[in-house]
């Protein structure tokens, strides 16, 4: 049996057990987290291809061809040359950007030769994919800063010590005008105008520069220069990668294969892809607790797509878990908590994942908030004269402004939580109450509700954020 097969056998036993148990979940996370560095070189060619195909949207020309090329490369004593291009156009990276990197890691661990193309030349043009306007060009300083941030943030998913970095300025800066014209003369304009984003912009009367027009050709030259066997990228990059096949043919080389990765839906469940502009993303720099909480906020229908995107689970394991959902032997909340643990474990390790799990349980279940050691504390003796919205925005910094804190109250998201001997009780604080001093409104609200705090204390809850209140005159 292969190393992956052994791991799957162990995980399958755990997946059939009680997934509400912390011990079971910790054992499962430990097993699957270890796979992120598991040597996959003992897998047969077809199984290697399946691991890629089952996480891709498109594999061109076909899955069978991918398996054949893996086998042929193995017989030749080499691995495939696997390309991923990075245009370092942003300093902040989110989970959506990790999807192709995770698949790239699998290629790496299968023994293939991974080349990361740093688009320091093409970044100065800017990938026009999906854009309604021209992207501002980047400076060399922008590119260097963004690249450093990218590498630092995605390193939990990828071994940068075993990768070949190439900057495409090394060859694109030497492309002469005659050579470029010779290439462009063999590229039909109609193939470039297949791009929906180009057609949409032209129809709307927006500008389209010649630099953007030749961007796919410049990116395609990268594939020819490194003799790529296969290129990875988001599904929105399909036309760019197909241009790579065309340019490689012009160079007289065997066209690369293509594997496109899904654009994962954001956490808000609206159907929009994960992006910073939509605010529906999970930043790779977010704390373990924040990552865990954001994953727990997703609708249940996103559990399986997220398992496919960011975990090392096989289809067999995902099918086992979803089968248990259908026969109701597994609650969706328990599976979502496993998913949240998987993502945190990838970024911070299993110990941090279990700590985030415990913290979430303490905050959002009937267990005592006193079990959470890291809750912020507000001393009423020091801040009691300040309004509740001021405490939320200035003292706790739960909200960016007083007006934002008022909106939370207006949307019924502001509460006092009291831990009594019988459990937790909550009192809704209105917008008007939130404008009053903390030391005045808390005793009054509790008295009206007829609540007497127990040894667990009193807590202020704004949305998903919680702080302990001390020094109150109750």
Tokens representing residue 265 in the block: 């839906």
Tell me what pLDDT residue 132 has: 43
Tokens representing residue 223 in the block: 């594939």
| CA distance between the termini of the chain | 66
Q: Where are the alpha helices (DSSP H) in 140-287?
A: 140-154, 169-172, 177-184, 189-192, 196-203, 210-226, 238-250
CATH label of the domain that carries residue 7: 1.10.240.10
Boundary (domain end) residue, out of 341, 365, 389: 365
State how far the Cα of 262 lies from the Cα of 401, in Å rounded to an integer. 36
Residues 239 and 119 in one domain: yes
Residues 316 and 430 in one domain: no
Tell me what pLDDT residue 335 has: 95
Tokens representing residue 15 in the block: 């997946």
Contact between 93 and 284 under an 8 Å Cβ cutoff? The reply is: yes
CATH label of the domain that carries residue 154: 3.40.50.620
Tokens representing residue 474 in the block: 């109750």
Return the H-helix or E-strand segment holding 115.
strand 113-118
| DSSP label of 41 | T
Contact between 369 and 468 under an 8 Å Cβ cutoff? The reply is: yes
Contact between 30 and 350 under an 8 Å Cβ cutoff? The reply is: yes
Contact between 74 and 131 under an 8 Å Cβ cutoff? The reply is: no
Is residue 465 classed as helix, strand or coil in its secondary structure?
strand
Per residue of the chain (474 residues), give pLDDT as tens.
899 999 999 999 999 999 989 999 999 999 999 999 999 999 999 999 999 999 999 999 999 999 999 999 999 999 999 999 886 666 667 888 888 989 999 999 999 999 998 888 877 665 555 444 445 566 777 777 777 777 778 778 888 888 888 888 899 889 998 998 888 889 887 777 777 777 777 777 776 777 777 888 888 999 999 999 999 998 888 888 999 999 999 999 999 999 999 988 988 888 888 887 778 888 888 899 999 999 998 888 999 999 999 999 999 999 999 999 988 888 888 999 999 999 999 999 999 999 999 888 776 654 566 655 567 888 988 898 999 999 999 988 888 888 888 988 887 778 888 876 666 777 888 989 999 999 999 989 888 888 777 666 888 988 778 888 888 877
Q: What is the pTM of this model?
A: 0.72
Residues 288 and 329 in one domain: yes
Residue 9 is part of which domain span?
1-39+283-365
**Is 399 inside any structural domain?**
yes
- Tokens 């799990």 found at: 357
Residues 320 and 257 in one domain: no
Tell me what pLDDT residue 320 has: 96
Tell me what pLDDT residue 423 has: 66
CA 331 to chain centre: 24
Residues 191 and 256 in one domain: yes
Return the H-helix or E-strand segment holding 388.
helix 388-390
Residues 124 and 169 in one domain: yes
Residues 155 and 11 in one domain: no
State how far the Cα of 414 lies from the Cα of 1, in Å rounded to an integer. 55
Peptide bond into 61 cis (omega under 30): yes
Residues 293 and 165 in one domain: no
**Is 209 inside any structural domain?**
yes
Give the DSSP per-residue string, 42-66: TS-HHHHHHHHHTT-SEEES-HHHH
Torsion angle of the four alpha carbons 360, 363, 369, 370, in this order, in degrees rounded to the nearest 10: 20
Boundary (domain end) residue, out of 345, 365, 385: 365
Boundary (domain end) residue, out of 321, 343, 365: 365
Tokens representing residue 283 in the block: 């930043």
**Is 274 inside any structural domain?**
no
**Is 275 inside any structural domain?**
no
**Is 391 inside any structural domain?**
yes
Residues 16 and 94 in one domain: no
Instruction: Give me the number of domains the chain comprises.
Output: 3
Task: Choose among 256, 257, 258, 251: nearest CA to 186.
Answer: 251
**Is 321 inside any structural domain?**
yes
**Is 422 inside any structural domain?**
yes
- List, in order, residues 6 or more apart from 323 with CB less than 8 Å away: none
CATH label of the domain that carries residue 465: 3.10.290
**What is the longest distance spanned by two Cα atoms in the chain?**
85
Is residue 337 classed as helix, strand or coil in its secondary structure?
helix
**Angstrom distances, CA of residue 345 to CA of 75, 88, 96:** 37, 26, 17
Tell me what pLDDT residue 133 has: 47
**Angstrom distances, CA of residue 268 to CA of 104, 233, 264, 296:** 27, 24, 12, 11
**Angstrom distances, CA of residue 431 to CA of 89, 243, 379:** 42, 57, 22
Tell me what pLDDT residue 78 has: 94
Residues 181 and 297 in one domain: no
Is residue 426 classed as helix, strand or coil in its secondary structure?
strand
Tell me what pLDDT residue 91 has: 61
Residues 446 and 396 in one domain: yes
- List, in order, residues 6 or more apart from 62 with CB less than 8 Å away: none
Residues 342 and 404 in one domain: no
Tell me what pLDDT residue 193 has: 74
**Is 273 inside any structural domain?**
no
**Pairing between β-strand 81-86 and β-strand 230-234 as defined by DSSP bridges:** parallel
Tell me what pLDDT residue 306 has: 95
């Amino acid at each position: 049996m292969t190393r992956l097969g052994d791991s799957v056998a162990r995980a399958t036993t755990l997946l059939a057990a009680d997934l509400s148990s912390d011990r079971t979940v910790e054992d499962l996370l430990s097993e699957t987290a270890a796979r992120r560095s598991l040597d996959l070189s003992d897998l047969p060619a077809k199984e290697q291809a399946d691991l890629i195909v089952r996480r891709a949207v498109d594999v061109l020309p076909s899955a069978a061809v991918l398996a054949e090329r893996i086998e042929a490369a193995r017989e030749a004593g080499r691995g495939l040359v696997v390309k991923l291009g990075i245009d370092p156009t942003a300093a902040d990276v989110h989970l959506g950007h990790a999807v192709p990197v995770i698949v790239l890691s699998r290629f790496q661990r299968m023994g293939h030769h991974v080349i990361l193309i740093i688009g320091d030349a093409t970044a100065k043009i800017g990938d026009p994919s999906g854009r309604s306007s021209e992207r501002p060009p980047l400076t060399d300083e922008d590119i260097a800063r963004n690249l450093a941030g990218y590498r630092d943030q995605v390193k939990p998913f990828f071994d940068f010590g075993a990768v070949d970095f190439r900057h495409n300025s090394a060859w694109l800066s030497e492309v002469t005008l005659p050579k470029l014209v010779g290439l462009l003369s063999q590229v039909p304009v109609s193939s470039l105008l297949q791009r929906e984003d180009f057609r949409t912009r032209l129809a709307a009367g927006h500008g389209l520069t010649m630099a953007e027009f030749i961007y796919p050709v410049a990116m395609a030259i990268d594939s020819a220069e490194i003799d790529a066997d296969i290129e990875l990228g988001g599904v929105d990059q399909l036309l760019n990668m197909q241009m790579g096949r065309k340019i490689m043919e012009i160079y007289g080389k065997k066209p690369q294969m293509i594997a496109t990765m899904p654009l994962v839906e954001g956490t808000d469940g609206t159907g929009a892809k994960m992006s910073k502009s939509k605010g529906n993303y999970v930043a790779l720099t977010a704390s373990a607790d924040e990552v865990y909480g954001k994953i727990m906020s997703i609708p249940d229908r996103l559990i399986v797509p997220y398992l496919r995107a960011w975990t090392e689970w096989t289809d067999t394991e995902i099918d086992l878990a979803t089968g248990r959902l259908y026969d109701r032997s597994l609650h969706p909340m328990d599976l979502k908590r496993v998913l949240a643990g998987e993502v945190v474990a990838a970024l911070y390790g299993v110990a941090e994942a279990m700590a985030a799990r415990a913290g979430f349980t303490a905050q959002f279940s009937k267990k005592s908030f006193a079990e959470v050691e890291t809750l912020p504390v507000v001393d009423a003796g020091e801040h009691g004269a300040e309004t509740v919205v001021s405490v939320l925005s200035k003292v706790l910094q739960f909200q960016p402004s007083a007006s934002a804190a008022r909106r939370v109250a207006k949307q019924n998201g502001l509460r006092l939580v009291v831990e009594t001997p019988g459990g937790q009780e909550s009192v809704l604080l209105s917008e008007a109450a939130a404008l009053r001093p903390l030391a005045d409104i808390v005793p009054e609200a509790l008295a009206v509700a007829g609540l007497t705090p127990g040894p667990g204390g009193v807590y202020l809850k704004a949305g998903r954020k919680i702080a302990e209140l001390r020094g109150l005159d109750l």
